[in-house]
Amino acid sequence: MNKAYKADMADLADSPEVKAALLKAQRAWIAFRDADCATVGALSGGAIRPIYMQNCYLQHTARRAQALEDLLKP
């Protein structure tokens, strides 16, 4: 995900307004991911809680990485 994000930011070097919008979106996405996975953890409880939370983080991150890779494709 970080690689795709950095590549997008580099491609937007000549568009500071769009770069700022992507930065804002990425920060909002991180807040969403963290809140969503905390909810998953709160719902699961017990010894399996960390596994559910890690799975949540992995799923969200994989989807976001793909979205970032697709963002600037024609």
The owner of tokens 């937007």 is: 12
Residue 65 falls inside a structural domain: yes
Q: Which domain holds residue 56?
A: 45-74
Q: Higher model confidence: residue 37 or residue 74?
A: 37
Mean pLDDT to the nearest integer, 5-13: 94
CA–CA distance, 31 with 36 (Å, rounded to integer): 9
Number of domains the chain is built from: 1
Share of the chain above pLDDT 70, in %: 100
Residue 53 lies in a domain: yes
3, part of any domain? no
- What pTM was computed for the model? 0.88
Span 10-49, pLDDT tens digits: 999 999 999 999 999 999 999 999 999 999 999 988 899 9
Task: Answer whether residue 37 is part of any domain.
Answer: no
Q: How confident is the model at residue 73 (pLDDT cuts 50, 70, 90)?
A: confident
Q: Is 25 part of any domain?
A: no
